[in-house]
Structure 1
Amino acid sequence: MSKFYTEITSRLQKFIEAQKIFFVATAPSSGRINLSPKGMDSFRVIDKNHVLWLSVTGSGNETAAHLSENERITILFCSFEKAPNILRLYGKGKEIKPKDENWNELISLFPETPGTRQIFKISIESAQTSCGMSIPFFEFKGERDDLNDWATMQGKKGIENYWEDKNQSSIDGLSTHILN
C-alpha cells in the first residue's frame, strides 16, 4: 500500500543512503519526458525537505533545461536487495553552477568527481513509498569507472569544449544555460 509523507523521515533517509542507483525524471512544458538512471556517490539528503544531486558531464543536460523552464522533478529509488520498497521524491529543483555563490559550500559535501557539471538542489514537496514487491533482486558488483576515466582524460578544457558542443540544448531544443 502506498503512503505519502510531507518530509523525508529518518527511515526514508536511511533507505536513500543504502541505494546504489536512483532515477531522475523531468519534463518540459511541451516535449519529451526525460528519465535517467544515476549512480556514483552523488546524492545527499541535507534536511527533511531538501536534497542535493551532483550532476556530472554526460551525453545530455536535459534536467537543467527542464528545470529552468518549470522546476518539476521526481527522484525514484527502489530496493533491489532485502525488503521490497519504492520511494519517489516529488519536488522543485534549482541548478547550482560552479560560479554560483554557494557552490563551494555544497560541493564540499561530495567527493571530488571528474567532469562535475552542476548540483541540483531539490525542495521536496512530498514523498511516496509503495511496495515494490514486483522489483527483481539484483546484486551490486561495484561502480563503473568509465565516465570518471573519460572525464579525467578530457581535462577541464576538454570538458568545457564538450559542454559547448553537446550540452547547450535539450533534445527538444531548450537551452540548458550551461555556459551562462
Structure 2
Amino acid sequence: MAKVHERLNERLRAFIAGQPVYFVATAPEHGGHVNVSPKGYADTFAVLDDTTVAYLDLDGSGVETIAHIRDNGRVTIMFAAFSGPPNIVRLYGRGRVVTPGDDGFPGLLKLFGPHPGVRSVIVVECDRISDSCGFAVPFMSFDEDRPLLDEWAERKDVQQKRSYRARNNRESIDGLPALSAEETDPVTHRS
C-alpha cells in the first residue's frame, strides 16, 4: 500500500539522496508514446523545498520529457531502493522547463554537480508524494557512475553540438515541439 505524504520530510529526502538512479515518466496529452527515462549521476537531482524538486537535463538521445512537459506539464519521478530496506518513492506533479535564456537558470544550475552538455533544468511542483514497499525490486549493487555521457559532451565542439541538437532536440518522436532553435544553440553551460 502506498503512503501519501504532504511534503518531502527528512526521511524521504535522505532516501532520495541515497539513490544512484531515478526514472522520469511523461506522456503527451493526446495519443503518442509514453516515455520513461533513466537518470544517473546523483548530483543531477535537488530538492528545492518541501514540495518542489529539480533535475539537470543533459544532452541525450531524445527530448521526449521536454516536449511532453511543454505539452501538458504532467511528470512522475520514481526512485527505487536497489539496496537496503525495500522502498519506492514517487513524485507526481507539474513540470516546467527552464532553459539557459530563462530567468532563474543560473541560480538553479548552481545546485548541481559539474556536467557538460546542459540543455535545461526541469523543475517539478509535486502535487502527490508517495512511497510504497518495493518488495519485488531486486537487490543490485552500484559500482560507479558511467562517465560516457559527460565524456561524449566534452568531445563535441560548438558546431557538432549545434548540429546534434538541431537534429535530435527540436521535436519528440511523435512530432511535438520540444526545444526551439534558440534553445538548442549550444552556448557553453556547465553545472
| TM-score (ref. length: structure 1) | 0.97
Q: Which amino acid aligns with 1:177?
A: L
SS of the residue aligned with 1:20?
coil
Task: State the alpha-carbon separation in 2 of the partners of residues 178 and 5 from structure 1.
Answer: 37
Q: CA deviation at 1:74?
A: 0.1
In structure 2, the residue matched to 1:108 is 110
Matched, 1:152 2:154: yes
156 and 14 in structure 1: CA distance in 2 versus 1, 3 angstrom threshold: farther
1:169 aligns with 2:151: no
Counterparts of 2:44 and 2:159, CA distance in 1? 23
Give the partner amino acid of 1:157.
Answer: Q
Say if 2:6 is the partner of 1:3: no
Q: Distance in 2 between matches of 1:179 and 1:94?
A: 18
Amino acid at match of 1:32: H
Root-mean-square deviation over aligned CA pairs:
1.0
Q: In the alignment, which of 122, 127, 132 is matched to residue 120 of structure 1?
A: 122
Equivalent residue, structure 2, for 1:73? 75
Identity of aligned residues (%): 39
Equivalent residue, structure 2, for 1:32: 33
Contact 1:7 1:125 in 2 (8 A): no
In structure 2, what is the Cα distance between the partners aligned to 1:148 and 1:36? 17
User: Helix, strand or coil: the match of 1:173?
Assistant: coil
1:73 Cα deviation after fit: 0.2
For 1:119 and 1:90, how far apart are their aligned partners in 2? 17
Amino acid at match of 2:123: K
d(CA) in 1 for partners of 2:157, 2:124: 29
**By how many angstroms is 1:111 displaced?**
1.8
After superposition, what is the alpha-carbon deviation per residue over 1:50-107, rounded to whole angstroms, capped at 9, x for unaligned? 0011010001000110011100000000000010000100000000001111111110
TM-score by length of 2: 0.91
